[in-house]
C-alpha cells in the first residue's frame, strides 16, 4: 500500500508536507461525522503551493492519507506538543472547531491506533529519515522545511487572527541562529504580510525531533494562514493570491539554501 510519494531532488533541501493528504481509509469513512468526511483541517493545497520548489532542486515528501487517519506531525506516544493549550492528538478525536470527528461510539481503540502508527506513521518517518540521511551524505548539510497551513481564525487553538507567516524553530533549537535570523530578515523586508517567529506554532514533532543543527540538519516549520492563497470556506485554491504568497516562500527557500 502506497502511503506517501517522495520526489528526490539535487539540493540540500527536503520539504515535508505531513498534512497535505486527504484520503480516508475505506474502513474508516462510515465512522466519521458528515463534517469530518470533508477533512476540513487539511493543510489544503500546500503541495501545489510548493510545486516550484522542485526547480530549486528540493526533495519533497507528501502523504496520501489525512491527518484524521493519523497525524504524522505528532509523536508516536501522543505526548502533547503544547501542554496547557488546546491541540489535537496522534489520532485526533475533534476537529479544530472542537466538533467530534467520530460518530458516537466509533472512536479508535488503543490497538487500532497502534495499527495506524505502523501502517501510516512509521513508513512516512522512515522515508523522511532516510532522505535526510541521503541528502546529508551528499551535501554535508540538509535543511528540512516543514510546510503547513491553517485557517487564519481558529478560536479553539488561538485567539484572534493568526499572522500570515508563522516560522517555527522550536525556540531556536531546531536550526542555527544564523538561518533563523536570515529567514526573519526575508519576512521583515517585505511589507505585504504579517509574520512571527516562534509564536503560537513553534514547530511540531518533525521540526523538534529531526532538527539537529549541531549535526548539520536544520529544521524549520512554516505555518501559513490559508487566507493568503485560498478561500477558507470553500477550500478552493486562489491562483492570484497564491502567486504573491508563493513569491515570498520562494525567497525563504532560497535563503534556506544559502550556505551558513
**Averaged over 99-104, what is the pLDDT?**
96
Which residue in this structure is represented by grid cell 511540531?
204
pLDDT band of 27, cuts 50, 70, 90: confident
Q: Which residues pair with 223 in a beta bridge?
A: 148, 166
In Å, what is the CA distance from 75 to each residue of 21, 25, 79, 105, 256? 18, 21, 6, 25, 26
Residues 50-63 have pLDDT tens digits of 999 999 999 999 99
Q: What is the pLDDT of residues 157-211, one digit of tens each?
A: 888 999 999 999 999 999 999 999 999 999 999 999 999 999 989 999 999 999 9
pLDDT of 86 higher than 70: no
What per-residue confidence (pLDDT) applies to 170?
97
Three-state DSSP at 224 gives strand
Residue 180 contacts residue 218 (beta carbons within 8 Å): no
Maximal C-alpha separation, the chain: 53
**How confident is the model at residue 25, as a pLDDT?**
87
pLDDT tens-digit readout, 142-161 = 999 999 999 999 988 888 99
Mean pLDDT for the chain overall: 95
Q: How far is Cα 11 from Cα 135, in angstroms, rounded to an integer?
A: 8
pTM: 0.95
The 3-state DSSP class for residue 113 equals helix
Length of the chain (residues): 260
- pLDDT above 90 for 1: no
Task: Name the band, by pLDDT with cuts 50, 70 and 90, for residue 28.
Answer: very high
| Residues 147, 15 contacting (CB under 8 angstroms) | yes
Q: In which band, very low, low, confident or very high, does the pLDDT at 78 lie, cut at 50, 70 and 90?
A: confident
Do residues 171 and 202 touch, judged by C-beta distance below 8 A? yes
Q: What is the dihedral of CA 73, 78, 83, 88, to 10 degrees?
A: 60
| Bridge partners for 94 per DSSP | 100
Which CATH code is given to the segment(s) 4-257?
Answer: 3.40.630.40
State residue 40's pLDDT score.
97
Asked if pLDDT for residue 87 goes beyond 90, the answer is no
Give the other-Cβ count within 10 Å of 116's Cβ. 20
Amino acid at each position: 500500500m502506497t502511503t506517501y510519494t517522495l520526489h528526490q531532488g539535487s539540493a540540500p533541501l527536503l520539504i515535508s508536507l505531513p498534512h497535505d493528504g486527504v484520503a480516508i481509509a475505506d474502513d474508516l469513512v462510515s465512522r466519521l461525522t458528515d463534517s469530518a468526511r470533508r477533512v476540513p483541517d487539511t493543510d489544503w493545497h500546500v503541495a501545489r503551493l510548493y510545486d516550484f520548489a522542485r526547480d530549486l532542486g528540493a526533495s519533497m515528501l507528501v502523504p496520501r492519507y489525512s491527518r484524521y487517519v493519523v497525524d504524522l506531525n505528532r509523536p508516536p506516544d501522543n505526548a502533547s506538543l503544547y501542554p496547557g493549550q488546546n491541540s489535537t492528538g496522534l489520532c485526533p478525536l475533534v476537529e479544530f472547531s472542537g466538533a467530534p470527528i467520530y460518530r458516537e461510539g466509533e472512536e479508535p481503540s488503543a490497538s487500532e491506533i497502534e495499527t495506524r502508527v505502523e501502517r501510516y506513521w512509521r513508513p512516512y518517518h522512515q522515508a523522511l529519515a532516510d532522505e535526510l540521511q541521503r541528502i546529508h551524505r551528499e551535501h554535508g548539510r540538509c535543511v528540512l522545511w516543514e510546510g503547513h497551513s491553517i485557517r487564519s481564525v481558529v478560536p479553539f487553538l488561538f485567539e484572534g487572527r493568526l499572522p500570515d507567516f508563522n516560522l517555527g524553530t522550536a525556540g531556536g533549537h531546531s536550526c542555527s541562529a544564523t538561518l533563523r535570523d536570515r529567514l526573519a530578515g526575508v519576512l521583515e523586508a517585505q511589507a505585504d504580510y504579517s509574520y512571527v517567529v516562534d509564536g503560537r506554532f513553534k514547530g511540531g514533532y518533525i521540526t523538534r525531533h529531526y532538527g539537529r543543527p549541531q549535526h548539520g540538519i536544520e529544521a524549520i516549520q512554516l505555518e501559513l494562514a490559508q487566507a493568503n492563497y485560498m478561500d477558507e470556506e470553500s477550500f478552493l485554491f486562489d491562483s492570484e493570491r497564491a502567486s504573491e504568497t508563493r513569491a515570498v516562500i520562494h525567497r525563504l527557500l532560497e535563503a534556506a539554501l544559502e550556505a551558513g
